[in-house]
A = this chain, B = another copy of it.
């Protein structure tokens, strides 16, 4: 744990509605421009610029300029995990007005930064551990021999997964209250599923709704393949 001052400084970065809206929008894993984020937050460009500067300074957001645009994304999966967890607390403390803003679909499958979350993400985690494809290892999970074979057969780029800072670790799923898979393997698993059209992104319904961009849908083909390989139930 850290000093109360450092802790509070980090929490303060999440504690303003415009910044919270920006970070929630970035949970889709997309890199968004300053202008888009300003619109999402409902503030003017100058204010958005100041907020983003703080988030970058605080290490929560990474920026890479491209021409006259500046694309922003979450700096790490730790940031995504913290936003998810705090979102769960806020939901528990201030019960949502009616039901979930996006109904059950949002809990079924969604993106969390660069990996999959919701019931699908938790089911994948359970499948990987239950079949012994990954085993506990200091700092997270390692692939077993059976796991390497199975994952490669699914079409997952294992070297790419291994090149990440962490090969595999847990990320708390706020809606299921169980972990789903993060780290390089989580990223490559999501990339593989999207590439092979086993899951599909849903079109963002209305502009200004950052949550919509995160929703995923399991395709019939994906349901079949993931059930065969990992016992994931639709």
A216 interface residue (CB < 8 Å to B): no
> Which residues of chain B are near A17, meaning CB under 8 Å?
4-5, 7-8
Asked if residues B86 and A11 are in contact (CB atoms below 8 Å), the reply is yes
Complex alpha-carbon distance, A172 and B21, angstroms: 24
> Which residues of chain B are near A211, meaning CB under 8 Å?
1
Q: Which of B2, B6, B177 sits near A139, CB closer than 8 Å?
A: B177
> Which residues of chain B are near A20, meaning CB under 8 Å?
4-5, 7-8, 11
- The 8 A CB mask of A66-107 against B (1 = contact, 0 = none) is 000000000010110110111111111110100001000010
Asked if residues B19 and A14 are in contact (CB atoms below 8 Å), the reply is no
Asked if residues A96 and B8 are in contact (CB atoms below 8 Å), the reply is no
> Which residues of chain B are near A24, meaning CB under 8 Å?
1, 4, 7
Given contacts A7-B24, A19-B8, A20-B4, contact A179 B174 (CB under 8 A): no
- The 8 A CB mask of A188-205 against B (1 = contact, 0 = none) is 000000000000000000
A109 interface residue (CB < 8 Å to B): no
A59 interface residue (CB < 8 Å to B): yes
Number of interface residues of A (CB under 8 A): 60
Q: Which residue of B lies closest to A86 (CB)?
A: B82
Q: Which residue of B lies closest to A183 (CB)?
A: B177
Q: Tell me the interface secondary structure of chain A in the complex.
A: helix
Asked if residues A139 and B96 are in contact (CB atoms below 8 Å), the reply is no
Asked if residues B89 and A172 are in contact (CB atoms below 8 Å), the reply is no
Q: Which residue of B lies closest to A92 (CB)?
A: B78
Given contacts A5-B17, A14-B7, contact A82 B89 (CB under 8 A): yes
Given contacts A8-B20, A10-B94, 16 further A-B contacts (CB under 8 A): A2-B87, A2-B91, A2-B94, A7-B24, A8-B14, A8-B17, A9-B90, A11-B11, A11-B15, A11-B20, A11-B90, A59-B94, A76-B92, A82-B88, A85-B172, A139-B176
